[in-house]
Amino acid sequence: MLRDWKHRWRTARARADVTARLREPPAARAHGLPSPLVVSLTSYPRRFGTLALTLGGLLTQTVQADATILWLGDGQASMLPPDVLSLRSRSLTIAETRDLRSYTKIVPALLAHPEAAIVTADDDVHYEASWLGGLVAAMDGPRTIPCHRAHRVRMSAGAIASYEDWDRNIRAPERGPLVFPTGVMGVLYPPGGLHEEATRADLFQELSPTADDVWLWWMHRMAGSTARKVGGRSRVLEWPASQEVNLRAGNMAGAGNDRAVAAMTARYGLPPTFG
């Protein structure tokens, strides 16, 4: 009961935070990166009821992105509620594309803006005003992949251990080849930070159809990039009623991620993580 009360209290505070920022946006500074900065996410009709809350947080950051793009499957833009459509006046771009499930949040942006740093976000999470600034501040080289939340991959007998045995939601800042970004709290991919096969739908749909984090970890390691986890242990606040359909449930149980790791290892071998 206490846990439920705390979650309701945190949710109420988050709603109030987004409402206040939309009413009076924080002063935003330029990002200062050598490339354009694009925030990219996707959604689908079952999440549209709380989508404006997430978008409101993304559009009122203390660091200004050059674009914030909501990618939707073909025909879904007409289903958006008025509170989402109204955010176009705050520089939200809404675009329809081929539905690639969770990959829709990054692949269309990589194809449309290859010159840009792409920051991925989820559609069901509260993002504080300093969220984007924290990722940008951690960019210290063209092969750095900043993230707010990450696991640490563990090895067993020369292979990647079961996902259940990884160190979850690591507690301190860390950089290294075993740092595994989780997309829920945002990841920044600089231009060229991912392998050239990152946008190959035929491959990721076969090898890692529900585990985009696994695919993107392999792709950034194969490109010679290294993840940098920002800050302490990340706390995720998901909006109530947004979790009826959640791919993470299967992956967090281990099976989805373990299947993807096995398929990726079979095709590519271990990523260049251990040399």
Per-residue pLDDT tens digits for 31-69: 999 999 999 999 999 999 999 999 999 999 999 999 999
Instruction: Tell whether 178 is covered by a domain.
Output: yes
Instruction: Tell whether 92 is covered by a domain.
Output: yes
Domain enclosing residue 11, as ranges: 2-268
Predicted local confidence at residue 251, as pLDDT: 47
Least confident of 126-135, 212-221, 246-255: 246-255
CB distance 222 to 268 below 8 Å: yes
Return the sign of the alpha-carbon dihedral for residues 40, 44, 47, 52: positive
From 262, 146, 128, 123, select the one nearest 206 (Cα to Cα). Answer: 262
Predicted local confidence at residue 4, as pLDDT: 85
Least confident of 21-30, 123-132, 252-261: 252-261
How many domains does the chain fold into? 1
CA–CA separation, 57 and 107 (whole Å): 22
CA–CA separation, 97 and 99 (whole Å): 6
CA–CA separation, 87 and 107 (whole Å): 23
Instruction: Tell whether 243 is covered by a domain.
Output: yes
Q: Mean pLDDT over all residues of the chain?
A: 94
Instruction: Tell whether 275 is covered by a domain.
Output: no
Residue 238 neighbours by CB under 8 Å, 6+ apart: 124, 125, 126
Share of the chain above pLDDT 90, in %: 91
CB distance 41 to 132 below 8 Å: no
**Model-level pTM?**
0.94
DSSP 8-class letter at 183: G
Residue 80 neighbours by CB under 8 Å, 6+ apart: 48, 51, 72, 94
Where residue 1 falls among pLDDT bands split at 50, 70, 90? confident
Instruction: Tell whether 231 is covered by a domain.
Output: yes
Instruction: Tell whether 241 is covered by a domain.
Output: yes
| CATH number, domain with residue 51 | 3.90.550
Instruction: Tell whether 94 is covered by a domain.
Output: yes
